Amino acid sequence: MTDESSISTEEQFGIGTDIVEIQRFRNLDRDAPFYSRVFSRDELCYCRKYVDSAPHFATTFAGKEAVVKAMNSQKQLTVAGIEILRNLDGSPYVILEGTEHEVIVSLAHSDMYAVAVAMVLPNSQIDNVDKFRKLLNENVQELIPR
């Protein structure tokens, strides 16, 4: 058996989840200072392009919280230091400045809740990122309360 304390942080997996009530974002004023403190300019543009931006803000926020939990002690983070953007196909990706870790995230929402799962991959698993992304995407829908 391997002693976990002997494994470097570059070789550890991390996983985090978060759930957010979308109504919390519907209750915020569009110009609330919270938005500019927590979301980047690109995240704000992405979310605000939707008529109902609350689910998009909620899923992005849940993603940021999940990343913080997944990184655990590997790097001290705040939600403002994490950027979650979307590829042209709509799939989310994570930008963390100053880290060598690969972080993948899966986001989903229902009418009432937004959920996110984030996974930090050890350097030895970087070549398998697509397999892990598929696994997360297949399972995140099961986390949404019905």
98: left (phi > 0), else alpha (psi -120 to 50), else beta? Answer: left
CA pair distance 70, 56, nearest whole angstrom: 21
pTM, to two decimals: 0.81
Could you read off the pLDDT tens digit of each residue along the chain, which spans 146 residues? 444 444 444 567 788 999 999 999 999 998 899 999 999 999 999 999 999 999 999 999 999 999 999 987 666 788 888 999 999 999 999 998 777 778 999 999 999 999 999 998 876 666 666 667 666 666 666 666 66
Displacement of CA 140 from its chain's centroid (Å): 12
CB 79 within 8 A of CB 38: yes
CATH 3.30.56.10 for domain 4-143: no
